[in-house]
Structure 1
Amino acid sequence: VRVQAGRPAWVRSALARGDVVHCAGPWRASGGWWSAERHFAFDSFDVEIDLPAMTVLLIDISNYVVEYFYTIPLIPLAIWLKIKLIRKFTYGRAGWDTFVLKVPIFGQIVEKNIVARTSRTLGTLVASGVPILEALNITRETSGNYVFERMFTKIYESIREGESIARPMKEFSRPQFNVVCAYFWFVFVGGPIGLLIYLTRMNNRVVDDLVVNMVDVGEETGELDTMLYKVADNYDEEVAVLTESLTKLLEPLLIVILGGMVGFIVIALFLPLVTLIEKLS
């Protein structure tokens, strides 16, 4: 104890660990463990290596979260406010509503849900004896989407001129090119790839030929409300199937996302060690 009293605490700790191991192993007599402890305690060296890009990215993300954690809830709030501001203008609302209808996976659910709701609303109004022009105005207000509102407006104008419902429904169910919609595809979907996908899907109609044909048959036979009910029932069933399928896909999708995040962190932490071992060898 007197010999160790004047030494630093970390040296006394190393000596204590050496003594414990000496009691349990064959190195006690030769003092080999203390030699290893002394080498570990006093010798050091520096190796200059560049951190991998994944590790640098992980460190930057960690530093940002620690230093600017208060900005994390502000990001979705800023995005929401920006969308609300853009939708205040007619052209901006048209772009956002078109983007919502064309976005992958969720767009089909929104589109089919609107078709089912508007078909059932129009069928109910026609069956109740409401004049067709007034029924179209009410249905347009219940759609909640600029693309469908534009389509029902054109149908309203065509009927006032003596035309049928099916022809303008087919003609004006195709969204027009919108710069705001292209911007949303570029930002939220994947840059140039998202913009390319939008250009390929831009001319897809929001109302299928099935709906147009059933409406045409309903007008010719005088059973428009019955055909609209059948359209609504069909699309309600499709929405239910899509929603159930999407719900079942959420669990494996979350597992894949979380697994990718954990894998990224583990690889980013071990890459410097691998680089150091290669440098030492």
Structure 2
Amino acid sequence: MPVYEWVGKTLSGDTVKGTLEASDERIVRIKLRRQKIIPVQIKPKGSGLLARLSTPKKVKAKEVVVFTRQLAAMLEAGLPLVQALDSLANQQKNPYFKEIIFKIKQNVEEGTPFAEALKQYPKIFDRFYYHMVSAGEASGNLDATLKRLALYMEKSLALKGKVKKAMIYPAIVLTVTTIVLAIIMVFVVPTFEKMFGEMGQALPLPTQIVIEMSRLTKKYFPFFLVGTVIFVFLLKRYYRTERGRLQIDALLLKLPLFGNLLRKVAVARFSRTLSTLISSGVSIIDALTIAAKT
């Protein structure tokens, strides 16, 4: 819950100050009046520029999973949705996520459906999450739907973790190989070139090719680095487009080693997504559309 700093006056005219936890400034004023304190100034604690910059503006997928799992357990135990959201917001350690949960709770209190309140934060609760909650609300089985959703997200995170672990070793080998080759071409080969030159003997063609490659690498190395950075930047921009994503993904699926792994991951994710949506009451057409976009 947000913390507010306040300054006030007692009935005798003395100035007092302190901090209070409350959902908004109105609640702080009510609490102070109950203590017979006249509020003079109320402001959120840590509202300065440094505090705003230090506050994380990101919610991790694991935090969303924990939130979903706990909300499902509270609803299954018979707790009202608003009270469950209030309790989860108070327990949340991420200040940014805490603020969002409080806003969702306020929207629900004002009569907004839970799914529509979540839809306002697509970076945290994606299209799949929204449709699952919407189907759960419509069927009256929100707690069961949230349990399925939490299970799905846990399995997705586990699968993503396995893929990352499988990619770590090849990535390390490729990085180390590139660094070693660069060191050899820039520092080692020129030393051998000088030694061979002092010997005054004709060099074999393969050796001449390596020496020439070393010269080119040493001469154009800064341009190579800049070109690599620009290429990666443009590739990411192109991948964000629909056409670019289609072409690059098709190319990745044709890779000798990683293509088969990526294909299995995609099929597993599609099957799990479709199964979860259909079991939650989403129509087959909508389920296929959502699964295709996730």
TM-score per shorter chain, which class?
0.3 to 0.5
| Bigger relative CO (Cα 8 Å, ≥ 6 apart) | 1
Greater Rg, structure 1 or structure 2?
1
Could you state the TM-score of these two structures normalised by the residue count of structure 2?
0.45
Q: Which has the higher helix share?
A: 1
